[in-house]
Structure 1
């Protein structure tokens, strides 16, 4: 991995569903996932339909991911950080909680 990509910003890695993803300082999780070829990272509660970035500005909730165990994070607003563990979110992301 280059320490400095073409933009000159330092590069680092986080994982998405266990696989490494390269990102640049200041890049959102969504931008890094798209750059790595991922187009969806959430499934809807009903129907299990794939979702990814829709609005890209934090208005909708299509890009929800789980970051470091915290579900419901909008990937377009969360800045990627070295060592983050990002996982696909199934539905509301609280399936393990008793209701």
Structure 2
């Protein structure tokens, strides 16, 4: 589910494949792409759940403004998946833990 050739931009540059972990599951990603793009390419749509009502949240704006895609990255909370680049062996978990109070 990854775009390898764009009708206007042409073929995408070759990038190294890396492994990331999201909620205990290992996925393949392209080094340097955003966490959100890597997870979407692997079929993951829900990145977190709302704290009060447990409604699913995923990628919304894709440019770092809305904070809907907050995840924990290598133990650091409230990272925006849409603007955080993937790195090899990155450990990502769903957002939560009263983040609405931040």
TM-score normalized with structure 2 length: 0.80
Q: Which runs of 5+ in 2 are unaligned?
A: 1-11
Counterpart Cα distance in 2 of 1:7 and 1:17 = 29
Aligned length: 88
Residue 79 in 1 paired to residue 85 in 2? Answer: yes
Instruction: Indicate the SS of the match to 2:60.
Output: coil
Instruction: Indicate the SS of the match to 1:90.
Output: coil
Which residue, 15, 29, 32 being the options, matches 1:9? 15
Q: Which runs of 5+ in 1 are unaligned?
A: 1-5, 94-99
Which residue, 18, 30, 33 being the options, matches 2:36? 30
| Residue number in structure 2 paired with 1:40 | 46
Q: Shift of the alpha carbon at 1:41?
A: 1.2
Q: Shift of the alpha carbon at 1:61?
A: 0.7
| Residue number in structure 1 paired with 2:60 | 54
**RMSD over aligned Cα, in angstroms?**
1.4
